[in-house]
Amino acid sequence: TVAAGGGSRLFLRSGMFVVGPESAGAHPGPVCYRKNGYLAVTDANLVLGRVLPEHFPSIFGPNEDEPLDVDGARAAFAELTKKEEAAGRSAEELAYGFLKVANEAMCRPIRNLTQMKGFDITTHKLAVFGGAGPQHACAMAKALGMSSVYVHRYGGVLSAYGLSMSDAVHEEQEPAADLYSYGNPQDEADADPSAANREKKLAALADKCVAALEKQGYTKDEVVIEKYLNMRYQGTDNAIMVQEPSEGAYASLPYAEAFREHYRREFGFELEGRDILIDDYRIRAVVPGSTPAPCEAVLSKGKPIASSTTKAYFETGWEEVPVYKFEDLEPGHEIPGPSIIVQSIS
């Protein structure tokens, strides 16, 4: 997961738009919290019309009885326009620029976790959560070349919701310096040099994991064991954690074949004739949590009726956009963008 918090502070430094890492925190918070706070990402979303004060409770200010301060946030950006680094930009252009920088800060680690490891990011969906995650999701997906965004209906409290349904997990890992396979085996005795020691160590780690979960009240029959080897080519330091392939996935030395496949995808080549070493043995013991029933496909119901309209700022400037309440939406509704969907927990 990657994030840029709503409290990430905004700066103009040497002609550059800078977002964070300093945070306004909850106290004093962003300018719009009415506590003499700092200009932050939430202020940018507010000034651009992506946050609607009328859908927020009046819990701000020194006495925690006032609404979000739109005028204060606008005044803070207006003050920023007077700086030389603003280069004549308007308050809205500055706020939009800061959001683009915040989005790119989140896109960068996503690229590092996907494209830099050989995955085609355009074939994936962008899953978003958190109170403000969906506000940034569409712009990020566009920047990443992704065509689908998945927003869970409990996205604003997804961490808590997920915890109630999560797996119980215990892991054990042990360092090693074993040879898994020879680059050029001479005879059958060289076929699987680590077999006996490998299975013995993995079994011992599995017993530790099961014992730890049994102390938490689970039974051995509930536990699913996942085996991993941390592997690398002899003479390199790029180790890759490889899960035990499913039975029959590879004809022989399954971990080696899976390792080569991972290595080829991530680096674009493999090292022929090179020994493969084991740096670590790892066991992940899992007691699966509850899984919700799959949703049935529904027919399109077309566009729902908007509860109101508002103005929001995008690349082309201010636009009149419809506002929909989440509780008014039903499966099958299709909403053309740009639009704003408001939800009490987000």
Containing H/E element for 72? helix 70-80
Query: For residues 56 and 68, what is the distance between their CA atoms, to the nearest angstrom?
Result: 8
Neighbour-count burial of 310, counting CB atoms closer than 10 A to its CB (0-12 exposed, 13-18 middle, 19+ buried): middle
pLDDT reading at 131 higher than 80: no
C-alpha 208/C-alpha 200 separation (Å) is: 13
307, 324 Cβ separation under 8 angstroms: yes
pLDDT at 325: 92
DSSP 305: P
- Decide if 321 contacts 309 (C-beta within 8 A): yes
Q: How many CB atoms lie within 10 A of CB 339?
A: 15
Encode pLDDT of 277-307 as tens digits.
999 999 999 999 888 888 888 889 889 999 9
Q: Who has greater pLDDT, 282 or 316?
A: 282
113: Cβ–Cβ under 8 A, 6 or more apart, which residues?
Answer: none
With 90 as the cut, is the pLDDT of residue 254 above it?
no
Q: Give residue 280's pLDDT.
A: 94
Name, in order, each residue with C-beta under 8 angstroms of 147's C-beta and a sequence gap of 6 or more. Answer: 122, 141
pTM of the predicted structure, to 2 decimals: 0.73
- Residue range 298-326: mean pLDDT, rounded: 91
pLDDT tens for 141-164 read: 998 899 899 888 888 888 888 888
Q: Average pLDDT over the chain, rounded to whole?
A: 87
| Mean pLDDT value of segment 76-99 | 90
The model's confidence at residue 248, banded by pLDDT at 50, 70 and 90, is: low
The string of DSSP letters for 195-260 reads HHHHHHHHHHHHHHHHHHHHHTT--GGG-EEEEEEEEEETT----EEEEPPPTTSSSS-HHHHHHH
218-235 pLDDT per residue, tens = 999 999 999 999 999 999
Burial state string for 60-73 with b = 16 or more CB within 10 A and e = fewer than 16: beeeeeeebbbebb
Asked whether the predicted pLDDT for residue 191 surpasses 80, the reply is no
CB atoms within 10 A of CB 302: 8
Instruction: Record the tokens describing residue 152, joined without a space.
Output: 């869970």
Inter-residue contact 4 to 105 (CB < 8 Å)? yes
Residue 235's CB is within 10 A of a number of other CB atoms, namely: 9
Cis status of the peptide bond prior to 322, with omega within 30 of 0: no
